[in-house]
Chain A
């Protein structure tokens, strides 16, 4: 938009036209406006990074140099890891953005993507082969990268793990047909022990003292005149404690470097007295945290950012689990309401900046992950609202401030997920609704009572811990507590579930990757009735799930010794106390789940086969098999029959809904047979992120009428696009038939809303009535997409003008113009539910 037009149009006019992005630009403070525009857009578009965004070689070089120098050192591996971590923090470039009040970034400069070469050599190869993101001068840097890639070949975490995995399982998984990613302790989604770390009782210095005490006790024990297994194992613990200390001390040192930089600028270069004061405040904050617990809201945010920055130095983090209103809320209350050292407007600037600092974070991701995470770097779903350990409403003034700040800065990542419960006040629900109405696509709404019961049912978390849950990734609750928190959710327990039904027709042979992946179930044409057919489906489901789960279990058992996490351990009570690496299964309760991508195709396909083949006998199984083999080519009329004349999920139709429930029952039963190394269950969690696009060319023709290459359904338990003919109430009714406590870990539901009639008070009242019914029906999740078709079509034609349009894509929001044409079409195709 021309600057003049932007200037001459009032906020109210923009809001009336529902051009929320321009209204936000005019409404936010000049500081927030500057900071919002001063970050680089890092999410990949259609799998490619934007021009100008570059891979950061600094950490890669520092890591490699230090690893080389330690090669012949006598240190145990965990101590070497910690020393590399410390070396990176001690030497990385630091900067302070103009007007910023918060500091700390994963890379060395704002346009860079962090790259840790010690984790996965296959990732390193992608860095080398991605010419657009290699920094200038390319020739020189290509040589640097080549050296790094060469050094880590055979030495990265993945290379160390590969020989100790079952090779057959590994090959099936790496084929890319049934799973997603690789099982690594330093590549996935780490929750944190926030109850240990963020409750104001301790920070790094206090933890160091706790560790020193532990070391003293251990030292005394190993030198008493006795010998036993405990002492034999104690030396490993001493190594772990030493490594933890190295990490914590390095964490304190880098914060002090930021403090020094802020002081140098303030005292030598800054002329504006107000900015000078701000810089000194930054210095004071960085001297305080992470060494000691924060005293103010600014310090609390700063503490959080440092922890995330360090965690992302140690590992590739695809998520950002946190509950900022709950853990930072007391500081907001103190500064704004009690001490009155901050005005609400000043606080809002800090909250907005906290969102911006998170939005700029990026780590180089392999192409499959970029395709699956269209437009964003990871799924940073921040948990809001909910109850406290005693079951009381935990919403506070900061909850509201986050909702307001989100509408001002309008970032696509992080997003919020709001834990709804019956005691949430109306004023908070109105703030949540405003975000949805303004087309942010978030918060998604989560059903607290259901999910707390679910956490107790599946993983045995005690109720007081279950009530503290945060999203570990997009959807999955996990308490941030001593034994409850899961140190790493390894992404590869992500099943491409459409393969379950596909393999029933191929007896487990995968024609796309040309290998036997599934079970060798009998020839599909030999099945006499639906029961035999369904039994083969169950066998394929169990086969696929167990291949994925076995590899994660194996990685989890090996992780403490082969790929330890000394920094993450150092901020975990159970590791500080026990001296064991935090990945050690013996000190965790277990919180595993199988993400079920491309799930709903199974119910629709089974229903079509049951009705058209076994009941109406309109087609023989041989005909169907032939049609699928030919990718429906030459069978168009028959295909349309399978699309139109078989019941589809999401229409409140018991015929197909009961098949969905039966499938989930089978999975739930199996979830309790397969166990994680902590001894706990593996429930399934249907959602898709953008897997429906990624897998379009990987899943073959299916009996729901889908052809190879067609996008899959957009996920979770959402009906197929355009197949939900009976409107939004029928969708909720179908989804409400699922027991969201015992049939799985969580179930993603997308609802597309028509914005025109959600305006004003009546829009809110309509939404509330809809949400009350959602709650009554016991659904654990719903998220809304509020942008209408015409806007999206216009955005496709003229992306320049619609840079800021955010849409909800499966598990997260993204800027519409950032996602591939195929995803865009898929979103537009979704039935506009017209809630209003």
Chain B
């Protein structure tokens, strides 16, 4: 298939991304650049190199095969690993990702992220957990990155999954043309639709794009009667205000179709290792994870508008617990 995207990971036993026990397929490549992004390795469409400093023994085996002099020479392990060390193994602006260093590494400290897999290979992996889907109402969730960026592939993958009798969820940021979205959602039983900010300027500042297209897509999608779970990452200093929640709740309640539920996803910083592995300085690295209990008040804002709401998006949340 042309323009076949890379897969960063197929994650079995996911329980917060649609109903039941699910397998998540992460596609690589996203048109947005959310500053808090929890999966930085899924932003670029091309393969990247992780350098995992805790695994690196500073043996220097990666130095010699590098044709572009993009590897920093070894320093004592302790210095490289100590808190606040700025040492990086790869000089990213010289690296052309030829991956020769990865092949030389014996300690799994250097690794490629992003690999090509056929639809059949992907679904073979996904089908391994079929007994768990049967008992939990789970299935496949296609995520990213952004699946609509690879519309043809995503549509084909979801269609093939349906043919095999799998329940499907599409996890999208909604930033694409309506025609694209309409095509990809056709084979999704549930659309997990991200909503990040109601104010377009604020949205653009932290995600790189305006929100008008996203809101419009959500409006049109709801009109089709598709089952939609709206997912709102709650990020400190960005959208953790009652003002935002009230505006979002009003907007969602006023859509032409019913929103099945709203999942408030508290910001966390468990992904900071991944930023380090990619050599990216993350602006949120010092930010504490948001205590889920703090979202009880915002959750009530949505429930008051008649929107069933969860904190954390568990695929096992009982209807009564979601309120509304």
Contacts and interface: CB of A to CB of B under 8 A. Distances in A.
A736 B132 CA distance: 12
Interface in A765-824: 765-766, 769-770, 772-773, 776-777
B316 A765 contact: yes
Chain A, interface size category, equals 20 to 34
A777 B129 CA distance: 11
Contact of A757 (B11, B131, B314): B314
Interface string B1-20: 00000000001110100001
Contacts of B185: none
Nearest to B11: A727
Contact of B132 (A757, A763, A773): A773
A644 B108 contact: yes
A772 B137 CA distance: 12
Contacts of A640: 106-107
A617 interface: no
Contacts of B131: 733, 736, 773, 776-777
A757 B135 CA distance: 19
Contacts of B20: 769
A730 interface: yes
Contacts of B129: 729, 733
Contact of A769 (B107, B316, B321): B316
Contact of A726 (B12, B138, B312, B318): B12
B12 A769 contact: no
B135 A769 contact: yes
Interface string B301-324: 000000000001011111001000
Interface residues of B, number: 24
A467 B305 CA distance: 55
B271 to A, nearest CB: 15
A201 interface: no
B222 interface: no
B136 interface: yes
Given A729-B132, A733-B129, A777-B131, A765 B318 contact: yes
A797 to B, nearest CB: 19
B54 interface: no
What is the predominant secondary structure among interface residues of chain B facing chain A?
loop
A637 interface: yes
A776 B128 contact: no
A728 interface: yes
B52 to A, nearest CB: 13
Contacts of B315: 766
A836 interface: yes
A74 interface: no
B318 A761 contact: yes
Contacts of A618: none
Contact of B15 (A641, A766, A776): A766
Nearest to A772: B135
Interface of A is mostly: helix
Contacts of B106: 637, 640-641
Contact of B12 (A727, A760, A777, A836): A727
Contacts of B15: 757, 766, 836
A623 to B, nearest CB: 16
A610 B314 CA distance: 42
A652 interface: yes
Contact of A770 (B12, B21, B128): B21
Contacts of B316: 762-763, 765-766, 769
A762 B261 CA distance: 16
Contacts of B128: 652, 729-730, 733
Q: Which of B107, B108, B131, B138 neighbours the largest number of chain A CB atoms within 10 Å of its CB?
A: B131
Contacts of A772: 135
B135 A776 contact: yes
Interface string B151-187: 0000000000000000000000000000000000000
Contacts of B312: 757
A730 B135 contact: no
A727 B13 contact: yes
Contacts of A835: 13
Interface in B108-128: 108, 128
B37 to A, nearest CB: 21
B21 A729 contact: yes
Contacts of B136: 766, 769-770, 773
B127 to A, nearest CB: 11
B228 to A, nearest CB: 21
Given A637-B106, A762-B321, A769 B314 contact: no
A723 B129 CA distance: 19
A729 B107 contact: no
A356 B13 CA distance: 39
Nearest to A767: B316
Interface in B129-148: 129, 131-132, 134-136, 138
Interface in B176-217: none
Interface string A340-370: 0000000000000000000000000000000
A729 B321 contact: no
A769 B318 contact: no
A101 B179 CA distance: 77
Contacts of B132: 729, 769-770, 773
B318 A762 contact: yes
Contacts of A776: 131, 134-135
B321 to A, nearest CB: 6
A346 to B, nearest CB: 35
Given A728-B13, A729-B13, A729-B132, A762 B21 contact: no
Contacts of A836: 15
A652 B128 CA distance: 8
A757 B12 CA distance: 17
Contacts of A727: 11-13
A80 to B, nearest CB: 59
Contacts of B317: 762
Nearest to B317: A762
Interface string B266-278: 0000000000000
B318 to A, nearest CB: 5
A18 B229 CA distance: 31
Contact of B135 (A726, A733, A760, A773): A773
Interface in A87-133: none
A765 B106 CA distance: 42
Interface of B: 11-13, 15, 20-21, 106-108, 128-129, 131-132, 134-136, 138, 312, 314-318, 321
Interface of A: 637, 640-641, 644, 652, 726-730, 733, 736, 757, 760-763, 765-766, 769-770, 772-773, 776-777, 834-836
Task: Give the 3 A-B CB pairs with smallest separation, nearest first.
Answer: A769-B136, A772-B135, A762-B316
9 contacts: A637-B106, A728-B13, A769-B20, A769-B138, A770-B21, A770-B132, A770-B135, A776-B135, A834-B13
Given A729-B128, A733-B131, A773-B135, 19 more contacts: A637-B106, A641-B106, A644-B108, A728-B13, A730-B12, A730-B128, A761-B318, A762-B314, A765-B316, A765-B318, A766-B314, A766-B316, A769-B20, A769-B21, A769-B135, A770-B21, A772-B135, A776-B134, A777-B131
